[in-house]
Chains A and B, each alone.
Chain A
């Protein structure tokens, strides 16, 4: 356990580079960041600026080349892949741009999927899944498969799947990027609502200024470095 000082996410001196043949590509450079518990943080920046890479590091999907990433008091940058997988189940809710629901499963089963890893009873799982689906307003669509839902509805199922395990942190990678304006607005309202009612910490990567407006704080990334902070 580390001293958190009220911050749920602490990124310290993180450097991330990829190698392409003999060429080294520096994506994040000496990046330091703290996110207090309950904050709604927006991350903006041009393509290739390192937004998604930073989000992946914080969500435990990737490891930094240098530096440390702490989330909820745990040094996740030192965890093994299996440890990270277990940690993600309980601590991270991930919302994707393209929803990424499993097409062979119904809305209910998609939301239930992460709960299968927690060893809950069927009735407990059912209660949690129904709560999550009711929160996103899709309790009447539980038997629908993704192909039978609109883009906005699929994203709401994706959000229900992200919150069903009651995670510490919700990370959303351009959640409105594939939606029309109206659906995008509904999703942003939903994230606002979740944040208000569940007091979740949300990290939102977006290109959309309207989405960023909803955040408490917006950070801009440029060539792997934080260049500006806007309140």
Chain B
């Protein structure tokens, strides 16, 4: 305890230097924490699971994937053809839709990207447990889960219903002139009209807002009943001189399949690949993680740079900042360190005394920085906006508190090892000969 007190006093002997070192550490830990938070999520979604994994079926040779809706049922069934074939545990079809709240003034805020799906697949209670095909909705708080289930019930009851992400509600709020905080209750039941844009031009849909996704991953997504979407496509010719919509035969974008393990995935994947039903267009089945990895392929260099250049560069800079500060401190205190040796402090104790100072400084500043980053990014900014694929924003995981302390501590240890070794090697006889 006394030695800890001595360490703290040594840190406090030059407050300006200690504060500057701590601030330098905090800035660099902040950058590394941000980078690692993004990489952590990407690693998580691209990590190959061995159990309860999801497979994604898309068009084999084309991006974006566009499949005939006739594929939906057989793919959802795992393309079973003969006895012994296995079926997926669950499935979900996704039909994309992009519309604008304002047909004339097309802005990012007026766009709504939504998926047409079976409401049940968004979430339901099965054998007393909440099950969903939507990643990230598996472990909601009881309150969020109840609210989502209520919204899904309303969606099932109302084929023109739509569940929107928080950002969409905020945009609707703004467009109707209310710039105050979003009042979700007030927006419930509000009717909106979306004007199809891009490939969905001419496919204008009217909706009634029936719920909101829990805050987070689906802030920029809407979900509605696929029957309504398919009906709208079917009825399109009636209002367009008998012409079918461009997407009439190719409006199924992907099918998610849930399988219990890798062996089941391999079987189902083989069943789909070998099925004669999916030849034109051909389909491919891959795990969700490899699908996401393929999706992230264009960003590979950026991610590689962040992982192997930016983060290590920050760590090295951090070590050098600490090495510089501790070296100066050790150089200034050579006579004191020599006195401590005279008094009986062993070389290893001197080494740990110096390492302890930098460790405390590094780990403390690292932890403070990570805690500050966690609070500011998650609570104040509501996540780090960095759209990649389906991910709109990233939140700093709670693990970051551990990373911060660890980054600071490791960088401090590495940076201060040489100065600490110099300190342990101080020879009192030489120091005092020079002093005298």
**Majority-rule SS of B interface residues:** helix
Write out the residue numbers on chain A whose beta carbons fall within 8 Å of the beta carbon of B435: 98
Which of B9, B341, B342, B433 sits near A52, CB closer than 8 Å?
B433
* A113 CB, nearest partner CB in chain B, Å: 6
- Of chain A, the residue at the smallest CB distance from B428 is A61
Q: Which of A30-38, A80-88, A149-157, A208-216 contacts B (4 or more CB under 8 A)?
A: A80-88
Bound Cα distance from A89 to B340, whole angstroms:
10
Q: Residue B339 at the A interface, CB < 8 A?
A: yes
- Inter-chain contact B342/A61, CB cutoff 8 Å: yes
Q: In chain B, residues 1-34, which have Cβ atoms closer than 8 Å to a Cβ of chain A?
A: 2-3, 6, 9-10, 12-13
- Inter-chain contact B428/A117, CB cutoff 8 Å: no
Bound Cα distance from A222 to B2, whole angstroms:
44
- Inter-chain contact B3/A116, CB cutoff 8 Å: yes
Which of B10, B13, B344 sits near A117, CB closer than 8 Å?
B344
- Inter-chain contact A100/B339, CB cutoff 8 Å: yes
- Of chain A, the residue at the smallest CB distance from B8 is A104
Write out the residue numbers on chain B whose beta carbons fall within 8 Å of the beta carbon of A102: 336, 339-340
- Inter-chain contact A85/B13, CB cutoff 8 Å: no
- Inter-chain contact B432/A161, CB cutoff 8 Å: no
* B109 CB, nearest partner CB in chain A, Å: 58
- Inter-chain contact B436/A85, CB cutoff 8 Å: no
- Inter-chain contact A94/B9, CB cutoff 8 Å: no
- Inter-chain contact A161/B343, CB cutoff 8 Å: yes
- Inter-chain contact B348/A88, CB cutoff 8 Å: no
Bound Cα distance from A94 to B345, whole angstroms:
14
Which of A53, A82, A116, A173 sits near B2, CB closer than 8 Å?
A116
- Inter-chain contact A52/B436, CB cutoff 8 Å: yes
Which of B9, B12, B343, B433 sits near A114, CB closer than 8 Å?
B343
- Inter-chain contact B436/A82, CB cutoff 8 Å: no
- Of chain B, the residue at the smallest CB distance from A91 is B344
Write out the residue numbers on chain B whose beta carbons fall within 8 Å of the beta carbon of A70: none
- Whether A104 contacts B13 in the complex (CB less than 8 A), given A61-B342, A85-B346, A113-B340, comes out as yes
- Inter-chain contact A86/B6, CB cutoff 8 Å: no
Chain B 325-341 against A: per-residue CB contact (8 Å), 1 yes, 0 no?
A: 00000000001101111
- Inter-chain contact A85/B6, CB cutoff 8 Å: no
Q: Residue B429 at the A interface, CB < 8 A?
A: yes
- Of chain A, the residue at the smallest CB distance from B333 is A102
Q: Residue B281 at the A interface, CB < 8 A?
A: no
Size category of the B interface is: 20 to 34
Most buried by A among B2, B6, B342, B428: B342
Q: Residue B291 at the A interface, CB < 8 A?
A: no
- Whether A105 contacts B6 in the complex (CB less than 8 A), given A52-B436, A96-B339, A98-B435, comes out as yes
- Inter-chain contact A82/B347, CB cutoff 8 Å: yes
* B196 CB, nearest partner CB in chain A, Å: 72
Q: Residue A97 at the B interface, CB < 8 A?
A: yes
Bound Cα distance from A173 to B432, whole angstroms:
10
Q: Residue A62 at the B interface, CB < 8 A?
A: yes
Bound Cα distance from A56 to B335, whole angstroms:
15
Size category of the A interface is: 20 to 34
- Inter-chain contact B436/A114, CB cutoff 8 Å: no
Q: In chain A, residues 152-188, which have Cβ atoms closer than 8 Å to a Cβ of chain B?
A: 161, 173-174
Bound Cα distance from A89 to B339, whole angstroms:
12
Bound Cα distance from A116 to B336, whole angstroms:
16
Chain B 276-289 against A: per-residue CB contact (8 Å), 1 yes, 0 no?
A: 00000000000000
- Inter-chain contact A103/B13, CB cutoff 8 Å: yes
Write out the residue numbers on chain B whose beta carbons fall within 8 Å of the beta carbon of A113: 340, 343
Write out the residue numbers on chain A whose beta carbons fall within 8 Å of the beta carbon of B346: 81-82, 85-86
Write out the residue numbers on chain A whose beta carbons fall within 8 Å of the beta carbon of B436: 52, 97, 173-174
Q: Residue A107 at the B interface, CB < 8 A?
A: no
- Whether A85 contacts B428 in the complex (CB less than 8 A), given A96-B339, A98-B435, A100-B335, comes out as no
Bound Cα distance from A114 to B342, whole angstroms:
9
Chain B 120-152 against A: per-residue CB contact (8 Å), 1 yes, 0 no?
A: 000000000000000000000000000000000
Write out the residue numbers on chain B whose beta carbons fall within 8 Å of the beta carbon of A203: none
- Inter-chain contact A86/B344, CB cutoff 8 Å: yes
Bound Cα distance from A113 to B3, whole angstroms:
9
* A15 CB, nearest partner CB in chain B, Å: 16
- Inter-chain contact A88/B344, CB cutoff 8 Å: yes
* A205 CB, nearest partner CB in chain B, Å: 10
- Inter-chain contact B2/A112, CB cutoff 8 Å: yes
- Inter-chain contact B343/A104, CB cutoff 8 Å: no
Bound Cα distance from A169 to B10, whole angstroms:
30
Bound Cα distance from A97 to B12, whole angstroms:
27
* A24 CB, nearest partner CB in chain B, Å: 17
Q: In chain A, residues 55-108, which have Cβ atoms closer than 8 Å to a Cβ of chain B?
A: 56, 59, 61-62, 81-82, 85-86, 88-90, 92, 94, 96-98, 100, 102-105
Residue contacts A-B, CB under 8 angstroms, 11 given: A53-B429, A56-B429, A81-B347, A89-B343, A96-B432, A100-B335, A102-B336, A105-B6, A105-B9, A117-B349, A161-B343
Q: Interface on A for B, CB 8 Å cutoff?
A: 52-53, 56, 59, 61-62, 81-82, 85-86, 88-90, 92, 94, 96-98, 100, 102-105, 112-114, 116-117, 161, 173-174
